[in-house]
Amino acid sequence: MKISTCFWFDTQAEEAARFYVSLFADARVTEISRYGPGQPMPDGLALAVNLEIEGARFMLLNGGPVFRQSEAASICVSCDTQAEIDRLWSALTAGGGKESMCGWLKDRYGVSWQITPAILGPLMSGDPARAARVMGAFMQMRKFDIAALQAAARG
């Protein structure tokens, strides 16, 4: 049995897949199926693009303008360093992406992402007072700032 997440696109699935795999060292497109003559989308357009990012499987489907992406589902990336957060944040918000709060953003295709520091879980567990300070800090942030979170944890 294999499980993957499917994201619906109008016509940009292949472009989005190639962009996403360019952002991660361990990422690749694994398969592309295409529409043929007489089908509901242009002949040759990718129907579905399967990809893997850091071991997670995704399918990007070109189905036309029937459904839109929403924040109800997002791709969560746990980053070890501020440099990783900064690089992904910049790449994903470029070209029409939109920042939100608390590490959330939408990329140029409307897909929602959470770019978070791996240290967040440990900072939020154990000591309730420390967790409250950390939460107070990150509720003010768009892109996470690891140094500011650590400072808040210290009090």
Asked whether the whole model's pTM tops 0.85, one would answer yes
Q: Which CATH architecture has domain 69-155?
A: Roll (3.10)
Domain ranges of the chain: 1-67, 69-155
Q: What is the pLDDT of residue 151?
A: 97
39-63 pLDDT, tens digit per residue, is: 999 999 999 999 999 999 999 999 9
SS (H, E, C) 14-82: HHHHHHHHHCCCCEEEEEEEECCCCCCCCCCCEEEEEEEECCEEEEEEECCCCCCCCCCCEEEEEECCH
Q: Which CATH architecture has domain 1-67?
A: 2-Layer Sandwich (3.30)
> Residues near 13 by Cβ (< 8 Å), separated by ≥ 6?
7, 46, 48, 49, 60, 61, 62
Q: What is the pLDDT of residue 34?
A: 98
67-105 pLDDT, tens digit per residue, is: 988 889 999 999 999 999 999 999 999 999 999 999 999
**Is pLDDT at 38 greater than 90 in this prediction?**
yes
**Is pLDDT at 64 greater than 90 in this prediction?**
yes
Domain 1-67 shares a fold with domain 69-155? no
